[in-house]
A = this chain, B = another copy of it.
Amino acid sequence: MKYPKPLLTLIDELSRLPSVGKKTAERYAIHIFQKFSKEECEKLAQAVVDVKSIGVCKSCGNICEGEICSICSDPERDKNVVMVVETIKDLFVMENINEYRGIYHVLGGAISFAKGIGIDDLNISSLIEKVKNNEVNEIILATNATLEGETTARYIKALLSDYDINITRIAHGLPVGGDLAYADEMTILKALEGRKKYE
């Protein structure tokens, strides 16, 4: 016996979500079928469609409801400092600490040979454009401390080596409250490499 066609279709569609396999998609689909009312299904469906009404900032790749996002169009933000992040989520995490006053550049991922994500899949060219137009003093590379993030950071650094700008990388080391005994080797290595004069 097989699931009815509409359930199979929903399982298929849901299994395209990140880290959702057949089993999880099946659980979600059965839950939607059994526990959601018709109205709730329609609300979810509408939300899925509506999300595509959100636009992408032409300047930085952040999400926005117009053409330029609220950060890029904010006169208070320092347009000379650009923080390069992998994803919109990273941007929001950084924004939430309410400390950074420059603008952003969202790559939309990181170079990954394993996942087949190359340079052309990332929003890099418009960053180079900004630098070329002498709009930038400092580029803060805030890609993740993963193989992909490091590769991407190194690649951008190489691309921008001919321009007279500061290229910095956010610090990596032990997290605040972290215990040396429980840290992984790479973090300890990064913490050691990045040591500073204690004042």
Contact = CB atoms under 8 A, between A and B. Distances in A.
Interface in A1-47: 1, 3-7, 9-10, 12-14, 16-18, 20, 26-34, 36, 38, 40-47
Interface stretch (A49-57, A133-141, A150-158, A175-183): A49-57
Identify which of A47, A64, A88, A92 gathers the most chain B CB atoms within 10 Å of its CB: A47
B32 A17 contact: yes
Contacts of A173: none
Contact of A10 (B1, B48, B92): B48
Interface residues of A, number: 53
A39 B53 CA distance: 13
Contacts of A31: 17-18
A60 to B, nearest CB: 12
**Assembly stoichiometry (copies):** 2
B6 A47 contact: yes
A108 interface: yes
Identify which of A13, A14, A50, A92 gathers the most chain B CB atoms within 10 Å of its CB: A13
A17 B32 CA distance: 7
B108 A34 contact: yes
A15 B45 CA distance: 14
Contact of A48 (B27, B34, B41, B87): B41
A6 B50 contact: yes
Contacts of A67: none
A95 interface: yes
A58 to B, nearest CB: 16
Given A18-B28, A31-B18, A1 B41 contact: no
